[in-house]
Structure formats: C-alpha cells, structure tokens
Amino acid sequence: MTLKLKKTLLKRKVNGEVVPGYYGRVLTNGTAEFSDICQLAGKGMTLDPIEIEACAKAFCRDAADQLKQGMIVDLGPLGKLYPSVNGPWNTDKDELSIRDCDPKVNYRPSDDVAAAVRAAKLAWATEAESTKPTTDEDAGDDTPQPSNGGQGGDSSDSSDSSDNGNVNQGGENGDGWE
C-alpha cells in the first residue's frame, strides 16, 4: 500500500503571532461503503449480502450502545473503540480543571491493521491528486482547526498521553488538531 500525502496549510500561534506552516496530510483512496463491504463479506458464502448487512448493522448498533455506556468496544480484527478525553497536561494536579477536558472516542487498531498501515510507503501526491478531498468531511472545507487551543494531548486509561507539538496526520480523521 502507498499512502499519498499532500502539503496542507495549518496556521499556528507562535509567541503570540499567527504563523502559517504546512504538514503532510493523507489523501485517502475513497470510502469503502458499508453495503459494499457486506457484498465482499458474502463472497463464497451461502448468506445473502442483505442478511450480512442486517447482522452487521445490528452489531454496529449494539456496539454503539455499549460505547455510549462507557464501555470499551472490541471490534475483533479491526481493533477497539473506547471513551477518552482531550485535555491539557499540567505538572500540578490541582490545576487540572474538568472544564478544560473534552470527551471523545478513540480508536486503537488491531496489531494486524496497525502493522499494515505502518508498513505503507509514503509518497507526495501530484498537484492533480492534491485537489481531491482527504475525507468525506473535507469535501467542503480543507482547513484543519486545532482543538484545545493547540495545547494538551489525548488521555485515557488505554493510551499514552503526550503533547509533542505534532499535528494529527490521520487519513480518516486527519483533522489536523495539535
């Protein structure tokens, strides 16, 4: 697999001044639609793709319900979803404020998926390739907005927390938060 990257503008505040800069952002290869995946899953099976889709939708509905109840959801070969929080890092625990924390959902890929993505070759996209959206959400706006005022990192019981100043460079999320 080769992941194409485009150079994307991201303005950051440095010493009180807004400074333009760039980071590499993944151009995805499109969206694998739910119904298409159900069709693929049914190849060589006696189950009709409609039955597979119905079961898969029921699975997703119930997985979402478990996540809404604060549970970590194991998606088998895909990995796990778990509730998490974005918030600032502070050396004094008494200075942490719940108001500065924003709940979110994290995805941790399975070892197999993570290894496949890590093994991907990276290449800069051509000018023509750079004009396509990086995600479905980007179709209208390609300007990432940093969250949390550009400070802090992600923290949860299931992941390491650090703020190294890097930009989130994901393809599906790829929202450029700092």
Q: Is residue 45 part of a domain?
A: yes
Q: Is residue 51 part of a domain?
A: yes
Distance, in Å, from the CA atom of 81 to the CA atom of 141, rounded to the nearest integer, reads 26
pLDDT at 132: 73
Please give the tally of structural domains in the chain. Answer: 1
pLDDT at 127: 87
The pLDDT tens digits of the residues spanning 32-71 come to 999 999 999 999 999 999 999 999 999 999 999 999 999 9
Rounded to two decimals, the pTM is 0.66
CA nearest neighbour of 7 among 23, 31, 28, 21: 23
Q: Is residue 22 part of a domain?
A: yes
Q: 3-state class of 9 per DSSP?
A: strand
- Beta pairing partners, 160: none
Q: Is residue 133 part of a domain?
A: yes
The domain containing residue 95 runs over which residues?
A: 2-155
Secondary structure letter of residue 98 according to DSSP: G
Can you list the alpha helix ranges (DSSP code H) found in the chain?
A: 34-41, 49-68, 111-118
Q: Is residue 82 part of a domain?
A: yes
Distance, in Å, from the CA atom of 161 to the CA atom of 63, rounded to the nearest integer, reads 25
Q: Is residue 145 part of a domain?
A: yes
Query: Domain of 135: which CATH number?
Result: 4.10.520.10
The pLDDT tens digits of the residues spanning 90-127 come to 899 999 999 999 999 999 999 999 999 999 999 999 98
More confident residue, 83 or 151: 83
Q: Is residue 85 part of a domain?
A: yes
Q: Is residue 160 part of a domain?
A: no
First to last CA, the chain: 27
